[in-house]
Chain A
């Protein structure tokens, strides 16, 4: 087992979760996955403590320099433990919280995906691994905040969270790319030792600011703090996991991770301390004005995150120690409070603080959990939060010139946080019920009160055994953060000293704020803003972006379409003329150049015919002759291919021509009846003629140029039979040598099929009566010809590796079989005979092609490597399966188009 297996476990769980029904034990089963990961991590702890870090790399089919490495050091241990531990509890809790929700499985699936993404962030040692995980957390957060997709507010909040954190993600990518460019490596652990190399570099401040932008947006720091309270639209378990315990701490993680690299830069400290202090105070003040339990918690989270950044910005040893201690304490009590808030919501149906109260009678266990967590948040002894706060005061007392303002600010903020703690952990439960709902409250199942109680209990346990936690979690994390071992003494009792006095004053102040707030209904002067300034700026920016894009589009595209077309073509003409004038002719006309081909009568006549037919097609007035002339051009092209040694192309072109003809015939009614063409202008004729001439000159020049070096085709031809076991080199190139390209191309076909579905989606539903009665001849032919065509298609696929044919041709021929059937008997009958939705057929084909390619990586070879088994004269290989997939995609896509055209025709 290792990180890769844990990720795989979580992803498999994520894939299976939607299918897990409504059973009560599904939550336990899924929670076991992160719990297993946590178990592994705990088992590895001695090794991590011993060696400093575990490292390795994720398997990846393509060679990369360096590999996609992972590394678990003290910081990775701390965060990994948090993610997996809180993750397991939240998944368990979510099962009970959303017991009646039909999309519960989807929520689980997203939560597990999120956990995997978070692990990539904290364990990835390659900049791109970290970035990929980072973006994936933003995406899952978007989907989870917008989980109640029927609510407009949830959707808007989800979009806001995505835009703000997504913007930060892009900044991080830019910062990482610059850093990798500067230091010559993507490996994060290698970056950390390169402080001197980076110090004097002009790009260093840019890199730092870009990365901090990402960290501050993710962790909701001023001026980007506004998205986090809005993200409370998510179901409560999501808020507990993403928006309090883990994801919003990713910014803290990244900053801490890179502190050894940037920690000495004054700007680093200034930004972190400035943003952190502002957010710390702002969040606490704003929290006072809220009445929604979750929003109060969100602001208190914002505030605490600010304090963490402030400590990172101060950057000295004691500050970093306080940061880690505070971070652990916060993860425990804040997740507990969120979960308790969810239980309150679940038990009463409201989260409005003025409507709660007196719940301790009905929900004693939830009340106990919330109360314990709130005591830790408030910093009461003997909770871990108390140790954290003592440390914070101690660390600020060290900074001589700044001591008084910083300590004052910290005390003010802590008083407010204490008042917030009492609001969320005391007021809903104490006193008498303030509404009918609160009177009718009921305790939930154990999955609802257990997790918060467990987390809050851990906070108490940690406070009682601080040295154990210092050894196991705090010291290793500090070592990773500071780059050297820092011994640490954690204790509840340090004697009567200044921090203790400050703590005592904070209690008194916090209680005073709470009393004052309660007596005034929390309508305190200056705190009850409903809409923050940052939120307004966000709204204005978004509106400006939309109207600005519209303005630009209108300014650039305000003319008729043909004017834009003419402009494009004229530019093309100028470029081609320029190229023709500046490029010296390679061979004098008249002589057969190095690539010269002897002239021949048949193709020359063919060319003349095609040119003539093309001209007529472009100038015909009605649609019927156009179809005829186009068919003639196509037939000419097919014959041209046949003459010049390309039977595969000739076959494909011929079948495509027939299908195009069928398509145009089907769409006839919808296309004809268009307004008669205007008279062609002289300048359009000149433009067309000029372009034709320029292209001809360019093509002639290109064809007469001598090739450079050995053509790759010679190698491909030489490899075809010995390596790829195929005698048709063209087919071997398609399904083996360049199979990746082919895969992309059939994916495009599937997308076109989806487009066809969408274009027809909101039209009349097909009637089943097969409106047109086709001729007797067609109906009779349609009885036996499809079978023959299908046999031909199978033959084309089977022999395609050695003889002209192949998957593309096979798919087209198979499609024409069913097209014929559809024309004769109606689309409904053809669909019935096909037995499979065409798009499903295409999708299955794409999956088959992909699957055949995966045999390579499974046997340790690159993606799409061919594997063959020989059975007497019979050679069977994965490229044949790939070709079958190609055939299925082509057939499915063609039939999707044909059926939707036909159904429209018959339905209208």
Chain B
């Protein structure tokens, strides 16, 4: 499955780069979301993929059963999902604001600071 995961992450990265380079400001949003998913999948997979055994301690025992999924990457990814959502929301607001202030602007119109 490692190869499948690697290809999936690669494909999502490629898609996000394409979205970035399309030249539309909304492409930033799409690219950002896709890149976030790719990285979350990567970090999640870094702990090893274990099917169907969540890191929960069964009642009456002290530790999760041996061979459970790794809890640490899960904790990392959980906050990453929420933070990613926060930044997505901020980006949405930013893009909306841009659309109001400069209705026809594409990515390349966001130039250097004016003197």
Contacts and interface: CB of A to CB of B under 8 A. Distances in A.
* Most A CB within 10 A of own CB, among B14, B62, B84: B14
A718 B103 CA distance: 56
Contacts of A641: 44
Interface stretch (A119-127, A140-148, A164-172, A721-729): A721-729
Contact of B49 (A637, A644, A687, A728): A644
B68 to A, nearest CB: 7
Interface in B67-115: 68-72, 74-75, 77-79, 81-90, 92-97, 99-100, 103-104, 106-108, 110-113, 115
B6 A696 contact: yes
A677 B70 CA distance: 42
A617 B50 CA distance: 29
Given A755-B90, A900-B93, A727 B59 contact: yes
Contacts of A687: 17, 21
Contacts of B93: 667, 755-756, 759-760, 897, 900-901
A367 B104 CA distance: 70
A670 B95 contact: yes
Contact of A614 (B12, B64, B99): B12
Given A695-B10, A713-B72, A675 B24 contact: yes
B96 A901 contact: yes
Contacts of B44: 640-641, 644, 646, 649
A733 B62 contact: no
Nearest to A683: B21
A675 B52 CA distance: 46
A702 B46 contact: yes
Given A565-B20, A656-B85, A897-B89, A700 B2 contact: yes
B63 A645 contact: no
B27 to A, nearest CB: 7
Contacts of A598: 1
Interface in A620-676: 623, 626, 630, 633-634, 637, 640-641, 643-649, 652-653, 656, 659-660, 663-664, 667, 670-671, 673-675
B82 A645 contact: no
B71 to A, nearest CB: 4
A51 interface: no
SS of A interface (majority): helix
A730 interface: yes
A721 B68 contact: no
Interface in A60-116: none
Contacts of A667: 92-93, 95-96
Nearest to B106: A675
Contacts of B89: 663, 752, 756, 893-894, 897
A845 to B, nearest CB: 13
Interface in B33-64: 33-34, 37-38, 40-42, 44-59, 61-64
Q: How large is the interface on A (under 10, 10 to 19, 20 to 34, 35 or more residues)?
A: 35 or more
A733 B72 contact: yes
A553 B4 CA distance: 43
Given A611-B8, A699-B5, A560 B111 contact: yes
Contact of B51 (A644, A721, A729, A806): A644
Contacts of A596: 2
Contacts of B110: 561
Contacts of A644: 44, 49-52, 69
Nearest to A809: B78
A487 to B, nearest CB: 66
Contact of B48 (A595, A808, A904): A595
B86 A597 contact: no
Contacts of B59: 727
A646 B73 CA distance: 10
Contacts of B7: 607, 611, 696
B62 to A, nearest CB: 5
Contacts of B54: 645-648, 804
A711 interface: yes
A689 interface: yes
Interface in A739-796: 741-742, 745, 748-749, 752, 755-756, 759-760
Interface centre among B13, B54, B83 (most CB of A within 10 A): B54
Nearest to A803: B56
Nearest to A738: B75
Residue with the highest number of chain B CB atoms closer than 10 Å, among A557, A671, A712: A671
A733 B74 CA distance: 9
Nearest to B73: A713
A227 B55 CA distance: 62
A713 B79 contact: no
B30 to A, nearest CB: 6
Nearest to A604: B4
A890 B84 CA distance: 12
Contacts of A599: 1, 4
A812 B82 CA distance: 9
A678 interface: yes
Nearest to A811: B82
A654 to B, nearest CB: 10
A848 B61 CA distance: 32
B24 to A, nearest CB: 5
Given A670-B99, A696-B9, A733-B75, A749 B21 contact: no
A729 B6 contact: no
A3 B76 CA distance: 42
A752 B17 CA distance: 25
Contact of B13 (A692, A718, A734, A760): A692
B63 A717 contact: yes
A428 to B, nearest CB: 50
Given A680-B22, A703-B6, A645 B81 contact: no
A663 B85 CA distance: 10
A671 B11 contact: no
A904 B83 CA distance: 24
A454 interface: no
Contact of B9 (A648, A695, A742): A695
Contact of A713 (B3, B20, B23, B71): B71
A653 B81 contact: yes
A641 B17 CA distance: 24
Contacts of B30: 617-618, 626, 630
A730 B82 CA distance: 15
A688 interface: yes
A700 B46 CA distance: 10
A907 to B, nearest CB: 12
Contacts of A647: 54
B99 A674 contact: yes
A689 B82 contact: no
Contacts of B29: 671
A569 B37 contact: no
A729 B64 contact: yes
Contact of A699 (B10, B17, B64, B115): B10
A615 interface: yes
Contacts of A734: 75, 78-79
Contact of B26 (A560, A674, A756): A674
B14 A691 contact: yes
Nearest to A728: B56
A534 interface: no
A692 to B, nearest CB: 3
A378 B74 CA distance: 74
A363 interface: no
Given A598-B1, A648-B74, A722-B62, 19 more contacts: A561-B110, A614-B12, A615-B15, A640-B41, A645-B50, A646-B69, A656-B84, A667-B95, A671-B92, A671-B99, A688-B14, A688-B15, A691-B13, A703-B45, A711-B72, A713-B71, A730-B74, A897-B93, A904-B96
25 contacts: A554-B112, A562-B21, A565-B20, A597-B1, A597-B48, A597-B50, A603-B1, A615-B14, A644-B49, A644-B69, A648-B54, A656-B82, A667-B92, A673-B99, A675-B24, A692-B11, A693-B10, A700-B6, A704-B2, A749-B82, A752-B89, A759-B93, A804-B54, A804-B56, A901-B93
5 tightest A-B CB contacts, nearest first? A692-B14, A696-B10, A645-B69, A670-B96, A560-B108
